[in-house]
Structure 1
Amino acid sequence: MRSLSLFVIGLVFGGGLGFLVAAANGIALDGHDHGDHDHAAAAGHDHATHDHSRVTDLPAGPDAPSVGLTATPDPVSGWNLKVTVENFRFAPEHASAPAQPGEGHAHLYVNGEKVARLYGPWFHLSGAQPGDKVTVTLNGNDHSGLSVDGVPVEASAILGQ
């Protein structure tokens, strides 16, 4: 019982001390940046097979996936992005797994630079300015870009317009 008590005390004070040290050094504790973090490598996946240049081309028709994007200024800061999809399902549970028809995730770009991976329809974007171009692409579980008859499945918005 004493070991369990000491373990819990260590978790509470160890975690609390870590947050205090981070805050004292100006480290923001307000979010998790998916843009630069390699989830595949962290999960033990071989990054060599994680090729963002691959494209899965799908035929046009009523079952073809599509995407839309709206950007609304957040009342406090940044932008609230809403991604609407048709014939596509966000499947975070299958990220970095083999491609499955009709499911995957999205990639978010600001002025052509990838900033995040999206696993759902809403995303809060901070640090972007009015006039910046925001683009979202649909991607398979294996990160291949999706296209329909050679046209990438993507949508863009200019912030503030």
Structure 2
Amino acid sequence: MRALLLFLIGLFLGGGIGLLAGGSLEMEGHAHDHSGHSDMDHDHSALTPWPTDTPAPDLSIALLEDGPTSRNLHIMADGFDWTPEAVNGPVTGGGHAHVYVNGEKVARAYGPWVHLTDFPTEGPVTVRVTLNANDHSGWSLDGVPLATETEFK
């Protein structure tokens, strides 16, 4: 009887803790709010002026088909230093890119190639890429974001 009682208590406590932990996990397809995490609170609207002693990067993109619903995005950013090891750190002159498909942020790019899955197959698709500093602020030149946007059909 004692073993059964201990088993039931363990099952109850273990299941309760499991449910609590499971409730905090991010589920696929559900949005995750970073506002409660001080280390993840990125202001994507903030702009950081590109250093005046360095020419601004020349930015363009190309999209290559890689299956029915996936594409490989090539980010050509001549003059830009990719610094994935410094993300979330101080602004140092390099950074990463943010990738948007039809206005929705879908990826961070830490180098010139990004594999995009679940790519829309209908209608024109707008892909926008912004160059971002380590603190996630957008690099800018004369107040204009260093970004490119292209519509693919």
Cα RMSD, aligned residues only: 2.7
Structure 2 gaps, min length 5: 1-26
TM-score normalised to the size of structure 2? 0.68
Counterparts in 2 of 1:80 and 1:64: CA distance versus 1, 3 Å = same
Tell me by how many angstroms 1:105 deviates: 0.3
- After superposition, the Cα gap between the structure-2 partners of 1:81 and 1:104, relative to the gap in structure 1 and judged at 3 Å, is same
Structure 1 length normalisation: TM-score? Answer: 0.65
CA distance in 2, matches of 1:86, 1:36: 33
One of 74, 86, 109 as aligned partner of 1:118 = 109
Distance in 2 between the 1:77 and 1:47 partners? Answer: 30
Partner of 2:143: 150
SS in 1 for 2:136: coil
> Which blocks of at least 5 consecutive residues in structure 1 are unaligned?
1-26
% identical aligned pairs: 41
What CA distance in whole angstroms lies between the structure 2 residues aligned with 1:71 and 1:61?
A: 32
Q: After TM superposition, give the deviation of residue 129 of structure 1 in Å.
A: 2.0
The reply to whether residue 141 of structure 1 matches residue 134 of structure 2 is yes
Q: How far apart are residue 93 of structure 1 and its match? A: 0.2
Structure 2: distance between partners of 1:79 and 1:129? 10
Aligned to 1:94: 86
Deviating beyond 4 angstroms after TM superposition, the runs of 4 or more aligned structure 1 residues are 35-38, 59-62
Contact map agreement 1:36 1:115 (CA 8 A) in 2: no
Letter of the 2:45 partner, please give it: S
Residue pairs, 1:25-64, within 5 angstroms: 41=37, 46-48=39-41, 50-58=42-50, 63-64=55-56
Indicate the structure (1 or 2) with the bigger Cα radius of gyration.
Answer: 2
* Offset, 1:47: 3.4
Counterpart for residue 4 of structure 1: none
Partner of 1:132: 125
Q: Determine if the alignment matches structure 1 residue 82 to structure 2 residue 74.
A: yes
Checking the alignment, whether the CA contact within 8 Å between 1:81 and 1:124 is kept in structure 2 is yes
Give the SS at the match of 2:85.
helix
CA drift of 1:79 comes to: 1.1
> What is the SS of the residue equivalent to 2:95?
strand
